[in-house]
Amino acid sequence: MTQNLIDGKALADELRTAFKTRVAALAARGCRPGLAVILAGENPASQVYVRNKVSACEAAGIYSQKILLAADVSQETLLAKIAELNANPAIHGILVQLPLPRHIHEETVLEAISAEKDVDGFHAENVGALAQGNPRFIPCTPYGVMKMFEAHKVDWVGKEAVVIGRSNIVGKPMALLLINAGATVTVCHSKTRDLASHTRRADILVAAVGKPRFVTADMVKPGAVVIDVGINRLSPEEGGKLCGDVDFEAVKNVAALITPVPGGVGPMTITMLLANTIEAAERRMGA
């Protein structure tokens, strides 16, 4: 095994073991954390993610409800479902899997989720709280990345952090977390000129691009911490395997620490969803 690997699977297992105590403490007070996951349509990748989220809840002792809606579901029906879940005391967290079908207005749907149940941290109130440095729910993927840094004692204060990707799900909240933590943060994206000139300065490099092996060894500063958020399925001609945004085999020889795909950020994302759901239940119980 690579010496400088950040093992997301092992860290996720460790955290999930620790959650058992919190779930048991809630159970002793008559509360079982509950998560509702809504999937509209039949996007195959989303189907896998939703299945994994629901089975992780089961393993953690969290009640889960999977709500599958047709791809042509009306926005009105989806909003009515969310209103029902907002009012359901057995549900502490609500997650609407993205992307939504094109005819549905994502922002309207995310804003309809009660901010107290927004375990994805995508509601404007929660995004605002994070931007102000006072987060309530932190989006699961960047939250998992910060936990990886903590576990490996990565010192980010004053360090150069470069995030590739500016999505609401990963890039933007990742940048906010790193800013709040004291790093000097640059956010790059598809329009960035001379990307490598930025990435080569990075002590911490987070790739959330969605392009297989996009980050090559020559783009990485020797000794950098490299976090690969990408989950790309290679074509059958290329072997059909899962592959990250980072050229792992080459970059692992340059980086001080690196996450693999699979087994890196992926298991941490679901783990932090469990954390946010437990947290939501604890807040409701006034813990």
Pick the stretch among 92-100, 125-133, 173-181, 254-262 that binds ligand GUN (CB under 6 A): 92-100
- Is 221 catalytic? The answer is no
Catalytic residue among 7, 118, 120, 247: 120
From 116, 168, 111, select the one nearest 142 (Cα to Cα).
168
Q: Which residue spans within 142-248 are E strands per DSSP?
A: 160-164, 184-188, 204-207, 225-228, 232-233, 242-243
Q: Which is nearer to ligand GUN, 69 or 202 (CB)?
A: 69
**Residues 200-239 vs ligand GUN: string with x where CB under 6 A?**
----------------------------------------
Binding of ligand GUN by 94 (CB under 6 A):
no
Nearest distance from C-beta of residue 242 to ligand GUN, angstroms: 15
Q: How far is CA 48 from CA 29, 42, 121, in A?
A: 33, 10, 21
Binding of ligand GUN by 126 (CB under 6 A):
no
Q: 149: burial class by Cβ within 10 Å (0-12, 13-18, 19+)?
A: buried
Q: Which is nearer to ligand GUN, 120 or 203 (CB)?
A: 120
Report phi then psi at 207, rounded to 5.
Answer: -105, 115
From 282, 183, 180, 199, select the one nearest 247 (Cα to Cα).
199
Pick the stretch among 7-15, 64-72, 91-99, 217-225 that binds ligand GUN (CB under 6 A): 91-99
Q: Which is nearer to ligand GUN, 95 or 224 (CB)?
A: 95
Binding of ligand GUN by 169 (CB under 6 A):
yes
Catalytic residue among 7, 81, 97, 245: 97
Binding of ligand GUN by 96 (CB under 6 A):
yes
- Is 132 catalytic? The answer is no
Binding of ligand GUN by 120 (CB under 6 A):
yes
Whose tokens are 């042509």? That residue is: 72
- Integer Cα distance of 203 and 206 in angstroms: 10
- Is 245 catalytic? The answer is no
Neighbours of 69 (CB within 10 A): 18
Question: Cis (ω within 30 of 0) for the bond into 262?
Answer: yes
**Residues 130-159 vs ligand GUN: string with x where CB under 6 A?**
----------xx------------------
Q: CB within 8 A of 28, min separation 6: which ones? A: none
Candidate list 26, 35, 94, 95; residue touching ligand GUN; CB under 6 A: 95
Indicate which residues carry an active-site annotation: 53, 97, 120
